[in-house]
Amino acid sequence: MKIRNSKCPLCSSTNCRRENLYSAILNLPGNIETNIHCCLGCGAYFLWPNISDELISGLYEKSYFTGVSESVERCPVPGSGIDYECEYASARIDKFRTTLKMLRTYVPGALNILDIGAATGEFLSIAKEMGLAVTGIEMSSHASGRAKDKYGFDFHQVRIEDYRGNEKFDLIHMNHVLEHTASPHTVLERIDSLLGPSGMVYVEVPFQFGVFEVIKYLLFRQRKNFDVFSVHHPVFYRPRTLKSLFNSHGFNCRSMRVFDPSRYPAGGIKGGFKKLMWLAASLAYQGIIIEAFFDRGD
């Protein structure tokens, strides 16, 4: 069904349709007025209408990083049961090092780096060890406080759209941040103004509604329990739409992948089979994440 009052956040087209299957996977119908829409112009998937900026900002406070439930704008924010620092950030140390080595391969003379969505500081602590001057932007007061306590970092506690610095950075890192903004072009405009002439941008976003997720829903009606985190991603990227967004701001994609075997070690026969299936799916650009390196091209 075409919906004329929705507007694509990537190409501004109003020629969109409601994506009932993906909305059902997130368990949106009957729980909230928001649904997932597909742009018939550029193929982007996005939420319409979006939840408020205030609620989005509130989601990334203490509960997001500790996994312990709290309330934001009188709305209960469920605890994930996952401690970000102990169970997520610490598990990504090797990945952070690999990303930094790749960035320095692309820009050998890099002297400084900006981390957008710097969280509790683990990525920048490694960057600092590698000799880079570091700057972090993190809107969560809880995460910024933890980075200060652990590493002595003084992050800019703002959204990237509101950051007023005018320095230039050789490297910009944005890990699972872009999918949280309903204004991706504003973010890219700010990144363009902050990136040095020979700089490199790393971005990683989730690959939602992949082939296996759809199959599990169609066969077993397996879907997410509805909560406020069902609607905290305003945009759902695909490799094509992510490239198109960056291309529209003059960026060139140097490399992109949707599955990294080293991040998903196989355990036993079942784990090995699952890994093999993801490797096969990645050949058709179906994956778990999308990670890419962008520069300004020639």
Please report the pLDDT score of residue 195 as a whole number.
98
Q: How many CA atoms lie within 13 A of 175 on its CB side?
A: 18
Task: Mark the ranges of the chain whose per-residue pLDDT is less than 70.
Answer: 1-4, 53-54, 57-58, 69-81, 298
Please report the pLDDT score of residue 85 as a whole number.
85
Name the nearest CA neighbour of 287 among 260, 266, 263: 260
| Torsion from C-alpha of 253, 177, 114, 256, nearest 10 degrees | -20
Please report the pLDDT score of residue 91 as a whole number.
81
Please report the pLDDT score of residue 83 as a whole number.
79
